[in-house]
Structure 1
């Protein structure tokens, strides 16, 4: 059953990429940034899966995944959020956090081949904040591309909760079924891409440009 859901996740991810590129030319900068974000995430996940099938270490790709996600989504929210102070804050946060992570790997290069929980939270928390701010701004503004904000927010909160759960269970030496994380993770992925799929269908119907 898990393998079927995992395959369906890849299928809907691919469908989302194809559909986004089909409406790409008629869209504005924010949607184009989001399109390349989804494409980059798909390539990274495919790469990780191939290495896993080859029984090769793919932990370093988690750094590629979270840093790439942070850069693309920061750029996306920089575009859609209103307010010059907010935009300056996004630029400042992006450079500072990338500098911190870069220094960490220069200072401790062996960490590049390990799982980095600090990196996950540093790269995810700002996006959650940006998404929450954008949802708040849309309360009295047209809800344009609403799901492109709601999707990352739900996914990142769920994803960070899973990583925190796994970390706490490991630190407390509490054993739990190994497939629990796998099941919740694949459900999160599916829910995320279904939310995005709904928004992309709306783009095709309305030909909205943002």
Structure 2
């Protein structure tokens, strides 16, 4: 992930707003992930609360990313009710901050999947910038939604630890594949821009 951040920042100035938003997304998501590792593995403290930041940051930045790709500011009106609903959830039940929010995860990622499908449809009409990233996002979001939306269910049932690790490792593998697709997108569409300038 850090390699992708460095490569995308290397191309930052030369590219459009969608590229810049996606680059900031990579940076902030990496920061949340590193913070999660620090809190959990080094401080040995519960770090589940950081997942809320991950999904909300992801939702906001990727929504802006798709607004730019689809050139449709109406998509932002989709964001407001979702963010309003999440805010209501956390105000109504502050303890939710320390639990999996399966509904919040499903809604935010569901909206992003919808944006991704709309963009895939646009790509059929000839637009193919960020196509590889969009396909990676679509596959990763579908699978991680299924994995993370079942988070509370997994903790409420007596599912074996090996099954829990299987789900977590499946998500890690899919995320790694997503990172490979991000690199392929950069190499295919942005590597040449650096060498031309």
Shift of 1:46: 0.1
Equivalent residue for 2:56, pick from 67, 75, 81: 67
User: In the alignment, which residue of structure 2 is the partner of 1:81?
Assistant: 70
Once residues 24 and 169 of structure 1 are traced to their aligned partners in structure 2, the CA distance between those partners, rounded to angstroms, is 40
Once residues 36 and 160 of structure 1 are traced to their aligned partners in structure 2, the CA distance between those partners, rounded to angstroms, is 22
User: In the alignment, which residue of structure 1 is the partner of 2:190?
Assistant: 204
Is the partner of 1:199 in helix, strand or coil? helix
Shift of 1:168: 4.7
1:131-162 deviations in Å (ceiling 9; x for gaps): 01101111012311212211211111110122
1:14-51 deviations in Å (ceiling 9; x for gaps): 00000000000100000000000000000000000000
Deviates more, 1:51-60 or 1:141-150: 141-150
Equivalent residue for 2:101, pick from 104, 111, 116: 116
Backbone CA RMSD of aligned residues: 1.8
With structure 1 as the length reference, what TM-score do the two structures score?
Answer: 0.85
User: In the alignment, which residue of structure 1 is the partner of 2:143?
Assistant: 158
Distance 1:135 1:206, change over 3 A: farther
Once residues 119 and 144 of structure 1 are traced to their aligned partners in structure 2, the CA distance between those partners, rounded to angstroms, is 29
Count of equivalent residues: 192
1:145-195 deviations in Å (ceiling 9; x for gaps): 212211211111110122245555555544361321222021011101001
- Indicate if the aligned counterparts of 2:106 and 2:149 stay in contact, CA closer than 8 A: no
With structure 2 as the length reference, what TM-score do the two structures score?
Answer: 0.90
Equivalent residue for 1:46, pick from 21, 34, 55: 34
User: In the alignment, which residue of structure 2 is the partner of 1:32?
Assistant: 20
Once residues 109 and 179 of structure 1 are traced to their aligned partners in structure 2, the CA distance between those partners, rounded to angstroms, is 28
Gaps of 5+ in 2: none
Superposition misfits of 4+ residues, deviation over 6 angstroms: none
User: In the alignment, which residue of structure 2 is the partner of 1:134?
Assistant: 119
